[in-house]
Amino acid sequence: MEGLTLSTKEQSRLQILNGVLERYWSMKEAVPLLGVSERQGWRLLAAYRREGARGLVHKNRGRVPPNATPETIRQQVVALAQERYGGVNHTHLTELLAEREGVMLSRPTVRRLLTRAGLSSPRQRRPPRHRCRRQRMPQEGMLLQLDGSHHLWLEDRGPWLTLLLAVDDATGTVPYALIQEQEDTRGYLSLLQGIIERQGVPMAVYTDGHAVFQPRHSLSDSVAQKGPSTQWGRALTELGITQICAHSPEAKGRVERANGTFQDRLVAELRLAGACTLEEANQVLAEFLPRFNQRFGVPADQPELAYRPVDPELELGGVLCIKELRRVAKDNTVQYHGRTLQLYPSTERPSYAGARVEVQERLDGRLLVRHRNQILTPQEAPALASQLRARVPIGPAVATLPDPDPTDWEPKEHVSAPVTPGPLAGETIWYEDPARKQVHRDLVVAGMERARQQGKRIGRPRVNERPEFEQLYAKVVERLGSGGLSRRQAARELGIGYATLKRLLDSNERS
């Protein structure tokens, strides 16, 4: 077993198979968590019994398949499907490739190549499905159903809020819940953090098709992209949690019914407590959850908990956060959503210019930068000179500026009067000067009014008012009629836009 490294997925499979060997749950109950069929689950169990943990590692890891389709054939199949055999279904295309092109491929191979290229079969059939009640998981913590409920929780005392709820599939209890302003990634990461801190790491979660859980990409992007493509999926992968996506609300009926119960009982609790803000609502919710679990919870088939403890070497805050990759500029700054972060030298390297770093936006609002397993603590970078020119330093109060004179064309200096510092003495507040913009706007209006009084034209002259435009326009129209010139070429020769030329031609035809 020396030198054997198991991924988080393989470690999760190891724990699940151990539960099957110890008869905590059956193989039929374990295969949804393994993400394989029941036959493959028995194969994994046989390999685990025969070779131990090494049997869970795929034997072809790191090898190139000998039967891989060459890249030239892949491109040929995609090109033929787009051009010559466009609109042909995958089965028919496989037969045509073998008969006319001499390309011998199986139908699944052709389907896989076209699906990765974003070419789905034009004829799709979905067989009818038989639905039945699903048995509960045998242990608490094996599967959590997650959902968000956007509701008028505070009635007329506050705005619409969203309840983020997690219901255990085995017991029907709620390990943790919270109320947020909206259903987003930050809220669900906070929900998962509360579950892990109170119970542990669950084996799997059951979610719907919300954009937090599944990316909103096209078919080609979602198939071609490897690994998790959302912040939620990335966090689950690092924690070794399996995500199961429901294709209908009925599939996660326990959390849906729990939402209805909360909309009935929690609204009344919030009304009786007089909660009017988000903080007060979360406080009432924390007091309501134990009573809800005691009233509606059911005992699990097995009393053992399936929650896993958090790895002591794992920083939970570095997993449950928003992570994005950035390239460090030459001045050791990083741009992140309109903010400029300044990186300082460390003992590892004096400069990070040109390096690829990972910006972490923690749930507590902190912004950290990670470079090669080293956490850096950046600060706000000083503003550039162009940014400083558009700002005016003032104190805690703003002096009243005089009204600008529209007839005065000479710009005036507007200096804020010094005032007595308030509680934040010595702090400089920067703001965009609206008075300077208003002065410029008033001067422009005054100049336009003066030009009207003097009989001058305001703005650029019309195209037909330009000197010698009529003669040049007549020659161009003659060449257009003979077919020796296109409209776009004519617009370029006249120095006008294509839409302007079209309006002139249309007006001539009407006249």
Q: What is the DSSP letter of 105?
A: -
| Residue 492 amino acid letter | R
* H or E element in which residue 143 lies: strand 143-151
Six-digit token pair at 26?
């059956």
Task: Tell me the pTM.
Answer: 0.55
Q: Determine the Cα–Cα distance for residues 103 and 96; give it in Å rounded to an integer.
A: 9
455: left (phi over 0), alpha (psi -120 to 50) or beta: left
Predicted confidence band of residue 449 (pLDDT cuts 50, 70, 90) = confident
| Residue 39 amino acid letter | R
pLDDT of residue 184: 93
pLDDT of residue 410: 43
Coil, strand, or helix at residue 423? coil
Q: 141 φ, ψ to 5°? A: 100, -5
The alpha carbon of 175 is separated from its chain's Cα centroid by a whole number of angstroms, namely 26
Q: Where are the alpha helices (DSSP H) in 210-335?
A: 219-224, 231-239, 253-273, 278-296, 316-319
Q: Which of 265, 371, 384 is nearest to 323 (CA)?
A: 371
319: left (phi over 0), alpha (psi -120 to 50) or beta: alpha
pLDDT at 503 over 90: no
Dihedral of CA atoms 493, 494, 497, 501 in degrees, nearest 10, equals -110
Burial class (CB in 10 A: 0-12, 13-18, 19+), 238: middle
- Report helix angle 8-21 to 38-51, nearest 10: 90
pLDDT at 226 over 60: no
Q: Return all residues near 201 (Cβ < 8 A) that are at least 6 apart.
A: 239, 240, 241, 307, 308, 309, 310
Are residues 159 and 281 in contact, defined by beta-carbon separation less than 8 angstroms?
no
Predicted confidence band of residue 53 (pLDDT cuts 50, 70, 90) = confident
pLDDT at 92 over 80: yes
Q: Which residues pair with 201 in a beta bridge?
A: 308
Q: Where are the alpha helices (DSSP H) in 454-486?
A: 469-482
- Report helix angle 487-494 to 498-510, nearest 10: 100
In angstroms, the Cα distances linking 180 to 196, 288, 347, 436, 455 are: 19, 16, 41, 40, 62
The better pLDDT of the pair 349, 459 is held by 349
- Please state, as a whole number, how many other Cβ atoms lie within 10 Å of the Cβ of residue 442: 16
Strand 367-371 versus strand 356-361 pairing type: antiparallel
Are residues 54 and 6 in contact, defined by beta-carbon separation less than 8 angstroms?
no
Are residues 427 and 464 in contact, defined by beta-carbon separation less than 8 angstroms?
no
* H or E element in which residue 500 lies: helix 498-510
Q: Which of 189, 194, 186, 141 is nearest to 167 (CA)?
A: 141
pLDDT at 357 over 60: yes
The better pLDDT of the pair 470, 201 is held by 201
Coil, strand, or helix at residue 314? coil
Most confident range (mean pLDDT) of 348-352, 385-389, 497-501 is 348-352
pLDDT of residue 247: 85
Q: Which of 194, 231, 238 is nearest to 322 (CA)?
A: 231
Q: Determine the Cα–Cα distance for residues 405 and 397; give it in Å rounded to an integer.
A: 24
The DSSP-derived string for 27-66 is HHHHHHHHTS-HHHHHHHHHHHHHHGGGGGS-TTTTPPPT
- Which pLDDT tens digit goes with each residue over 270-310? 999 999 999 999 999 999 999 999 999 999 999 999 999 99
Q: 491 φ, ψ to 5°? A: -65, -40
- Which pLDDT tens digit goes with each residue over 170-191? 999 999 999 999 999 999 999 9
Q: Which residues pair with 336 in a beta bridge?
A: 339
In angstroms, the Cα distances linking 455 to 60, 112, 497 are: 85, 73, 28
Strand 143-151 versus strand 204-207 pairing type: parallel
Six-digit token pair at 309?
């403890």
- Please state, as a whole number, how many other Cβ atoms lie within 10 Å of the Cβ of residue 338: 5
| Residue 363 amino acid letter | L
Coil, strand, or helix at residue 375? strand
Predicted confidence band of residue 206 (pLDDT cuts 50, 70, 90) = very high
Q: Which residues pair with 149 in a beta bridge?
A: 163
Predicted confidence band of residue 428 (pLDDT cuts 50, 70, 90) = very low
pLDDT of residue 57: 83
pLDDT of residue 455: 73
| 119-128, 214-223, 403-412, 460-469: least confident range | 403-412
Q: 4 φ, ψ to 5°? A: -85, 125
* H or E element in which residue 493 lies: helix 487-494
